[in-house]
């Protein structure tokens, strides 16, 4: 399923753990013009196929006035001849969600809001330099629901120093009490990650158990949803569908072997800097199929892997199957849920 990603690299402040490209800046007019220009220049990107999803990510797109966001959404609809996208996601900070902003986003065509919640513990939120409080999250969810946005996702973080198992369990309970359709959970990386892999694994496994009990299906290493609420846009990344990424630091893929990305530099982007392009080799395409596909619960169809590569990885694959790290059913292979925490390592064994 083809999709469009738009990067809004603006934040009101920077969170301590964040690696995404964004700057604390609020003059976005020239940037929005550059986005519309880049969309127009890529009107033939999908070669006649209509993109089904639109994703406004960041940064903090919810920081921008709706009139600016609307310019980009309208341009995408017009340029690609789409009346309404099947899924239109907006990333939002909870403190930007009000009954009024939620209503305007819905009117603009947004069908799904993904909120960076991270924790329900105010002292952790403060330490992370998040702008919102735990109480604002429930208010935000209520405002989104009242505005008619029926697909709400929340992000949580685990595996950081200072997060006890009890606090993590409490975060999961509070997330579930809001009944979001979708939950994404990421392990803290970098200097604030907890030094004990064992603790990180046990928090991951606890999350899997609690969400499964509550009726959420884990469909990817970090993503869970109620039935029918998988992120269609992100699923396109994992099954290597074509996507056009516009904005500073945004990546595009033609669905075959061309990858292209813009520089992570707002000024250069506004100045019209050309993107960098790379054409993947056969081997790199195979590695991507394995790396991305094995992140998902549906896994990889071995028929997508050429016979000579399958032959080369056979000893490692047979070993992984024997030891229960990979399950095989007909031509499909997948990593069982109990091993998803070490999926990168497992995939690494298959790459020859």
Say how far residue 128 (Cα) sits from the centre of its chain.
20
Q: Is 159 a binder of ligand SF4 (CB under 6 A)? A: no
Q: Is 21 helix (H, G, I), strand (E, B) or coil?
A: coil
**Half-sphere exposure (CA, 13 Å, Cβ side) for 46?**
23
For β-strands 217-220 and 151-158, DSSP reports them as unpaired
Of 4, 6, 22, 183, the one binding ligand SF4 (CB under 6 A) is 22
Which residue carries 């907006």 as its tokens? 90
Candidate segments 33-41, 58-66, 195-203, 243-251, binder of ligand SF4 by CB under 6 A:
58-66
Q: Is 245 a binder of ligand SF4 (CB under 6 A)? A: no
State the number of binding residues for ligand SF4 (CB under 6 A): 11
Nearer to ligand SF4, 59 or 109 (CB): 59
Nearer to ligand SF4, 22 or 325 (CB): 22
Which residue carries 């596909």 as its tokens? 293
Of 58, 61, 180, 293, the one binding ligand SF4 (CB under 6 A) is 58
Nearest to residue 246, comparing CAs of 81, 109, 73, 50? 73
Q: What is the DSSP string of 270-295?
A: HTTPPPEEEE--HHHHHHHHHHHHTT
Nearer to ligand SF4, 60 or 184 (CB): 60
β-sheet bridge partners, residue 153: 114, 182
Q: Is 15 a binder of ligand SF4 (CB under 6 A)? A: yes
Q: Sign of the CA dihedral 108, 112, 118, 122?
A: positive
Q: Is 319 a binder of ligand SF4 (CB under 6 A)? A: no
Q: Is 59 a binder of ligand SF4 (CB under 6 A)? A: yes
Interface residues with ligand SF4 (CB under 6 A) are 11, 14-15, 18, 20, 22, 58-60, 93, 116
């Amino acid at each position: 399923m083809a999709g469009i990603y738009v990067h809004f690299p603006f934040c009101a402040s920077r969170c301590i753990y964040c690696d995404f490209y964004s700057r604390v800046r609020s003059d976005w007019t020239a940037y929005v013009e550059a986005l519309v220009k880049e969309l127009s220049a890529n009107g033939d990107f999908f070669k006649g196929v209509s993109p089904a999803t639109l994703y406004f990510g960041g940064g903090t797109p919810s920081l921008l006035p709706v009139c600016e966001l609307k310019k980009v959404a309208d341009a995408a609809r017009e340029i690609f001849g789409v009346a309404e996208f099947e899924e239109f996601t907006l990333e939002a900070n909870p403190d930007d969600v009000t009954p009024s902003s939620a209503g305007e986003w819905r009117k603009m065509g947004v069908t799904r809001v993904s909120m960076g919640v991270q924790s329900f513990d105010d002292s952790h939120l403060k330490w992370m330099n998040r702008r919102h409080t735990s109480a604002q999250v429930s208010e935000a969810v209520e405002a989104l629901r009242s505005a008619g946005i029926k697909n709400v996702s929340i992000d949580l973080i685990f595996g950081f120093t200072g997060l006890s198992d009890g606090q993590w369990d409490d975060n999961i309970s509070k997330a579930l009490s809001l009944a979001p359709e979708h939950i994404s959970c990421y392990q803290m990386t970098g200097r604030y990650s907890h030094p004990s892999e064992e603790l990180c694994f046990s928090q991951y496994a606890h999350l899997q158990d609690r969400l499964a009990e509550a009726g959420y299906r884990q469909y990817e290493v970090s993503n869970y949803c109620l039935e029918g609420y998988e992120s269609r846009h992100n699923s396109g990344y994992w099954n290597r569908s074509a996507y056009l990424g516009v904005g500073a630091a945004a990546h595009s893929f033609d669905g075959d072997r061309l990858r292209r990305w813009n520089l992570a530099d707002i000024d250069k982007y506004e100045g019209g800097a050309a993107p960098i392009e790379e054409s993947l080799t056969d081997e790199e395409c195979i590695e991507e199929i394995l790396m991305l596909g094995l992140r998902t619960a549906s896994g990889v169809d071995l028929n997508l892997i050429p016979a000579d590569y399958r032959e080369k990885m056979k000893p490692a694959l047979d070993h992984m199957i024997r030891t229960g790290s990979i399950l095989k059913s007909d031509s499909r292979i997948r990593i069982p849920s109990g091993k998803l925490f070490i999926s990168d390592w497992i995939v690494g064994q298959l790459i020859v």
